[in-house]
Structure 1
Amino acid sequence: MTTPSRLPEPYGQGSGANLADILERVLDKGVVIAGDIRINLLDIELLTIKLRLIVASVDKAKEMGIDWWESDPALSSRARRDELARENAELRERLARLEALEPRRAQEEAP
């Protein structure tokens, strides 16, 4: 007579596909977790912390209008190049203004 085993299946067999399905569904649909923490003392608000967490795929985030990482120089090489080009243009403009002022100073100092 055999008795059925009551041990759970190892993680590698049945739960891997389930976890992948759940992850795919979460990334496809997106999940928003929001919460606020407030610290009051005698009805005086001392601290408020607002927490917002969005878990979604990049495509879903772009669909929702969330694309802040594309303009962050720390995360996007295109944003880094754009920032360097803007900074370069500003420095060239400042240099041109300084060079335009230099001949005037030379004329004012001449006897």
Structure 2
Amino acid sequence: MTERTITHVPSMPSGPANLADILERVLDKGIVIAGDIKIDLLDIELLTIRLRLFVSSVETAKKAGIDWWETDPALSTRAHRAAVDEENTRLRKRIAELESGEDTGRAGREDAGGKRAEEVRSR
């Protein structure tokens, strides 16, 4: 009969985990915290709040398909610059239309009363 040695590698350290270890593990794997708050009065639902919290590192969030901070102008300077550039392009195009007298479709529109915009402006 042959003798075998089986070693067991624990998935978690055997000693107490410190805060840094726990934080590193949470950021590496990610953690989801979910909860609902519901306020009823006499069987009438007055308020429902659904809370979802996803805590992770940026890399882990990107792996999960979450990257909203990259496109939010309030959080990303690149997204803010893109929004400002888009607005500037739109405004320059509108100024060029007004200066050339083209006024594409805006002058000929009718208001709610059926009057054309030129008639309203002439008053």
Within 5 A, what are the aligned runs for 1:27-38? 27-38=27-38
1:25 aligns with 2:25: yes
Q: For 1:101 and 1:46, how far apart are their aligned partners in 2?
A: 55
Q: Which amino acid aligns with 1:58?
A: V
Aligned to 2:95: 95
Tell me the TM-score normalised to structure 1 length: 0.72
2:40 is the counterpart of 1:40: yes
Structure 2 gap ranges (5+)? 1-14, 103-123
More helix by share: 1
C-alpha displacement at 1:74, in angstroms? 1.6
State the Cα RMSD in Å: 1.9
SS of match in other structure, 2:101: helix
Cα deviation for residue 53 of structure 1 reads 0.8
Pick 1 or 2: higher relative contact order, CA cutoff 8 A, min separation 6: 1
- Number of equivalenced pairs: 88
Query: How many Å apart are 1:18 and its aligned residue?
Result: 2.1
Partner of 2:111: none
Aligned to 1:25, the other structure's residue is in SS state helix
SS of the residue corresponding to residue 72 of structure 1 reads coil
Determine the C-alpha separation between the residues in 2 that align with 1:51 and 1:84. Answer: 32
**3-state DSSP class of the match of 2:18?**
helix
Aligned 1:1-111 pairs, distance under 5 A: 18-101=18-101
Describe the SS at the equivalent of 2:95. helix
Partner of 1:20, secondary structure, is helix
What code does the residue aligned with 2:44 have? I
TM-score, with length taken from structure 2: 0.66
